[in-house]
């Protein structure tokens, strides 16, 4: 079912909860089960914790446009009490959800029966104090805030600020700053819409708040550039503080140069010193102190460079891959086609290609590294570029903030892989 | 723009890329969730790149035609002197050559031919056409149109249809308006003009009114972006406007144009 296609995956701050959003507007949250006492050498599994419908399809009557219910992004808030909070967004509206547990129920009311029927007041001869009785765990999700009508274009990113009070939302041309408590107002902090739309040459593709400095954020563009902005400098951050761009290699120019240089994701490292960008063929790590080129570049699937025309024809060239850091920033991960995903170790410079599929990943089995043969003789176990399935794409991956546990979304299936504990 | 064609897997014909891109833009209008600005912006870049290459190849073709024309003029001059000599038309050089043009070479050739001809070669009527007019102009008012019914891409320049001058030669009997709907191929530059009847050609060629497009600079994505406009409201009315404009300028006179997207 198309509505089951997973469109976003995100661990919370502790890694205890994993949220997924899908094309049908649903959010499914998984919880890490405690390790079983019988088998302490195995990590606990992730089981469904809560499911709710976050967004519904809407219709904009003014523009005669349907607004998709697909969840574009989910971001968790840091936990402050027993309840969990997350932000989920579709193309136009951001919602703050509260997910709370209920495992007790009050019993012994005076005015009504256990099944809720009102008691006849004349029958009540004595008063009792209701008591809390245990009940089966119930997880409830309720929308606490709805942040609407602030975006003319399609929202592509949301990011919670390190002050835990504000967050930003970005669409193709604008970035807004919100306060989590205030829904009827937001501040526009970036606006790249030209006075004359005919002069439009680039759009905003992703934005993120700095993990520690609450005044700093970055946004990437379709032209392959990243701008870092400081909110202390001005109310409207149209002028960047830093501008990151790698000069184009003129020898690799093609019809599709603009498309493949468009950045689809930008993520700060946990340390806040680096950031990573994903374009169609590669992942780049940038040092925030060096603007003229990335410090590391990793080729994800360079063998696709000669296939760009077919990929343009079947629209795959527009796929927006995400990328993520591990907890210690020593490794990065991103997806590819044929249900392959790639991991790069920044220290050893080793990389690995793995596959997320039922056939190749039985429970408890170790994943086998995969290889795509790029030409000449195809070795055994290698896959040729022409037999890659471009309908099986891994766009969304997430890495546990502390442990070596990863979540990989392959179309409508979620795979969770973890390291064996020895 | 240098294009590494060797690296492409499918037939990266500029024209097929143009039609593919226009189809994408058209189908995006009916997609759920509204037109995606980012995707269409990227498609318009491909469209621009393909068009730039296409125009460059066209200019190269024009240059070859002009070279041939000059040779023909010399030959006919010789023929006047020596009427017994059979006329040997030369094939335009590199007619079948589909290699990408070196930008430097194209420019150099242009200069060369300008330098070579202080004299005005006599203009055979079948070459007085849109191709020859203003061929070295930087401001080329071209409109690339995709007919959604026949999936044919045609370029209209300064109000004249290109097909008339280049392809009509290859299909001499059909100089009727129907020829306008034929898909043009770049390598049709190999058409041999000597097979052509000037009178048929003149009759078949449509002179359209000069089109007043707002300066379609090759590097400007302008008119295309304006179709998407802010908020995309009024998109339907905008399309109707564009279609009206085109029909005013005698595109309507060609029966085949029922629905078309005008780009640039």
pLDDT digits (tens, 9 = 90+) for A88-101: 999 999 999 999 99
Q: What is the pLDDT of residue B263?
A: 37
**A246 contacts A228 by C-beta, under 8 angstroms:** no
- State the pLDDT confidence band at A361, using cuts at 50, 70 and 90: low
Check residue A238 and give its pLDDT: 80
* pLDDT at residue number A42: 60
Instruction: Find the residue in B nearest to A257 (Cα).
Output: B46
Q: Which of A398, A401, A390 has the alpha carbon at shortest distance from A417?
A: A398
**How many beta-carbon pairs below 8 A join chains A and B?**
109
Report d(CA A208, CA A327) in Å as an integer. 17
| pLDDT tens figures, A27-65 | 999 999 877 666 655 667 899 999 999 999 999 888 888
Question: What tokens appear for B12 in the block?
Answer: 């990266």
- Residue A242: how many other CB atoms lie within 10 Å: 16
- Residue A398 — pLDDT band, cuts 50, 70, 90? very high
Note the pLDDT tens digit of each residue in A116-165.
788 888 888 889 999 999 999 899 999 999 999 999 999 999 999 999 99
Burial track A277-314 (b if 16+ CB lie within 10 A, e otherwise): bbbbbbbbbbebeebeebeeebebbebbbbbbbbbbee
Q: Do A66 and B34 touch (CB under 8 A)?
A: yes
* Exposed e or buried b per residue across A12-35, where buried means at least 16 C-beta atoms within 10 angstroms of its C-beta: beebbbbbbbbbbbbbbbbbbeee
Contact A294, A283 (CB under 8 A): no
The alpha carbon torsion through A32, A34, A36, A41 (nearest 10 deg) reads: 70
Residues of chain B found within 8 Å of residue A65, distances taken between Cβ atoms: 33-34, 232
Distances (CA, A) of B139 to A241, A347, B56, B212, B217: 38, 53, 13, 13, 6
Give the distance from CA B34 to its chain's centroid: 32
Dihedral sign computed on CA atoms, order A325, A331, A337, A340: negative
The answer, yes or no, to whether residue A291 has pLDDT greater than 60, is yes
The per-residue pLDDT for B147 is: 54
Q: Which residues contact B61 (CB under 8 A, 6 or more apart)?
A: B166, B186, B189
pLDDT at position A268, please? 98
Provide the pairing of β-strand B160-161 with A413-418: unpaired
Calpha distance A227→A175 (Å, rounded): 12
Q: Give the tokens for residue A154.
A: 């399609």
**How many angstroms separate the CA atoms of A215 and A230, rounded?**
6
Strand locations in A16-129, DSSP E?
17-22, 26-32, 46-53, 58-60, 65-67, 73-76, 84-89, 94-107
pLDDT at A365: 73
CA dist., res. B253 & res. B255, Å (int): 6
CA distance A400 to chain B (A): 31
When pLDDT is averaged across residues A280-305 and rounded to a whole number, the result is 97
A66 to B222: CB separation less than 8 angstroms, yes or no: no
CA distance B8 to chain A (A): 5
Q: How far apart are CA A164 and CA A185, in angstroms?
A: 18
Question: Which residues touch A66 (CB under 8 Å, ≥6 apart)?
Answer: A57, A58, A59, A60, B32, B33, B34
A223 touches chain B (CB under 8 A): no
d(CA A205, CA A207): 7
Q: Which secondary-structure segment (H or E) carries B54?
A: helix B37-81
How far apart, in Å, are the Cα atoms of A125 and each of A111, A112, A119, A130, B119? 11, 14, 11, 16, 121
**pLDDT digits over B203-236, tens only?**
333 333 333 333 344 344 444 444 444 333 333 3
- Do residue A154 and residue B2 have CB atoms under 8 angstroms apart? no
Give chain B positions within 8 Å (CB) of A315: 24
Contacts of B17 in chain A (CB under 8 A): 255, 309, 312
- pLDDT category at B142 given cuts 50, 70, 90 is low
For residue range A321-337, what is the model confidence (pLDDT) as tens digits?
999 999 999 999 999 99
Strand ranges for chain B from DSSP E: 142-147, 152-157, 160-161, 260-263
**A172 Cβ neighbours under 8 A, 6+ residues apart:** A153, A154, A156, A203, A204, B37, B38
The whole-number average pLDDT for the span B38-48 is 95
Give the model's confidence band at B75: pLDDT under 50 very low, under 70 low, under 90 confident, else very high.
Answer: confident
pLDDT at A357: 87
B49–A67 CB contact, under 8 Å: no
Across A338-349, average pLDDT: 96
Write down the pLDDT at residue A115: 82
Interface ipTM: 0.91
Taking the CA of residue A306 and the nearest CA in chain B, the distance in Å comes to 5
Q: Which of B68, B76, B99 is nearest to B4 (CA)?
A: B99
Confidence class for position A314, pLDDT limits 50, 70, 90: very high
According to the model, what pLDDT value does residue B122 have?
45
pLDDT category of residue B258 using cuts at 50, 70 and 90: very low
Name the CA radius of gyration of chain A, rounded: 24
Measure CB to CB from residue A172 to each of B10, B37, B223 and give the nearest one: B37
pTM for this entry:
0.71
Q: Which of B33, B222, B229 to probe the A interface (max A CBs under 10 A)?
A: B33
Q: Does A312 touch chain B (CB under 8 A)?
A: yes
Q: Kindly list the distances between the CA atom of residue A26 and the CA atoms of A1, A141, A144, A323, B77, in Å, as whole numbers in the listed order.
A: 13, 12, 17, 22, 81
Question: Could you give the CA distance from residue B220 to residue B213 in angstroms, rounded to a whole number?
Answer: 13
Mean pLDDT of chain A: 92
pLDDT at res. A295: 97
pLDDT at B53 over 50: yes
pLDDT at A394: 97
């Amino acid at each position: 079912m198309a509505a089951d296609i997973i469109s976003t995956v995100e661990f919370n701050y502790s890694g205890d909860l994993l949220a997924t959003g899908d094309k049908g507007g649903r959010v499914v949250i998984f919880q890490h089960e405690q390790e079983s006492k019988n088998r302490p050498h195995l990590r606990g599994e992730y089981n469904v914790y809560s499911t709710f419908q976050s967004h519904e399809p809407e219709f904009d009557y003014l523009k005669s446009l349907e607004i998709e219910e697909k969840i574009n992004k989910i971001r968790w808030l840091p936990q402050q009490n027993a309840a969990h909070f997350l932000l989920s967004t579709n193309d136009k509206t951001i919602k703050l959800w509260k997910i709370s547990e209920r495992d007790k129920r009050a019993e012994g009311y005076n005015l009504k029966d256990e099944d809720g029927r009102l008691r006849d007041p004349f029958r009540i001869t004595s008063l009792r104090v209701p008591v809390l009785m245990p009940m089966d765990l119930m997880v409830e999700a309720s929308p606490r805030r709805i942040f609407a009508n602030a975006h003319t274009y399609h929202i592509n990113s949301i990011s919670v600020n390190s002050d835990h009070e504000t967050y930003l939302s970005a669409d193709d041309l604008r970035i807004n700053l919100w306060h989590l408590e205030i829904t009827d107002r937001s501040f526009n902090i970036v606006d790249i819409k030209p006075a004359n739309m005919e002069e439009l040459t680039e759009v905003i593709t992703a934005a993120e708040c700095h993990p520690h400095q609450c005044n700093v954020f970055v946004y990437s563009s379709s032209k392959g550039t990243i701008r870092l902005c400081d909110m202390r400098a001005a109310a409207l951050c149209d002028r960047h503080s830093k501008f990151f761009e790698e000069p184009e290699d003129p020898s690799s120019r093609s019809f599709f140069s603009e498309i493949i240089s468009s950045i689809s994701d930008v993520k700060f490292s946990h340390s806040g010193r680096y950031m990573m960008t994903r374009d169609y063929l590669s992942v780049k790590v940038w040092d925030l102190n060096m603007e003229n080129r990335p410090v590391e570049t990793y080729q994800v699937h360079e063998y696709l460079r000669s296939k760009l025309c077919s990929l343009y024809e079947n629209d795959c060239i527009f796929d927006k891959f995400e990328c993520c850091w591990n907890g210690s920033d020593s490794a990065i991960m991103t997806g590819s086609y044929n249900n392959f995903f790639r991991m790069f170790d920044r220290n050893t410079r080793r990389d690995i290609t793995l596959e997320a599929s039922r056939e190749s990943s039985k429970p408890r089995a170790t994943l086998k590294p995969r290889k795509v043969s790029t030409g000449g003789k195809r070795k055994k176990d290698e896959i040729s570029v022409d037999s890659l399935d471009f309908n099986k794409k891994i766009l969304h991956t997430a890495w546990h903030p502390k442990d070596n546990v990863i979540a990989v979304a392959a179309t409508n299936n979620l795979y969770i892989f973890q390291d064996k504990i020895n | 723009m240098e294009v590494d064609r060797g690296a492409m897997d499918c037939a990266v014909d500029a024209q097929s890329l143009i039609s593919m891109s226009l189809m994408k833009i058209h189908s995006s209008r009916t997609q759920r969730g509204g037109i995606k600005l980012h995707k269409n912006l990227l498609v318009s870049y491909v469209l621009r790149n393909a068009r730039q290459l296409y125009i460059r190849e066209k200019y190269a073709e024009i240059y070859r035609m002009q070279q041939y024309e000059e040779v023909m003029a010399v030959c006919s001059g010789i023929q006047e002197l020596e009427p017994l000599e059979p006329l040997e038309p030369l094939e335009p050089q590199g007619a079948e050559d589909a290699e990408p043009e070196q930008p430097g070479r194209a420019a150099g050739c242009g200069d060369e031919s300008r330098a070579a001809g202080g004299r005005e070669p006599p203009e055979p009527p079948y070459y007085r056409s849109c191709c020859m007019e203003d061929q070295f102009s930087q401001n080329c008012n071209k409109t690339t149109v995709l007919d959604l019914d026949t999936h044919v891409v045609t370029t209209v320049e300064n109000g004249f249809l290109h097909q008339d001058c280049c392809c009509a030669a290859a299909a001499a009997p059909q100089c009727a308006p129907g020829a306008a709907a034929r898909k043009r191929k770049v390598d049709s530059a190999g058409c041999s003009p000597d097979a052509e009847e000037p009178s048929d050609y003149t009759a078949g060629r449509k002179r359209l009114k000069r089109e007043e497009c707002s300066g379609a600079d090759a590097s400007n994505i302008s008119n295309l972006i304006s179709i998407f406009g802010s908020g995309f409201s009024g998109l339907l009315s905008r399309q109707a406007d564009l279609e009206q404009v085109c029909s005013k300028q005698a595109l309507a006179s060609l029966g085949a144009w029922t629905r078309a997207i005008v780009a640039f």
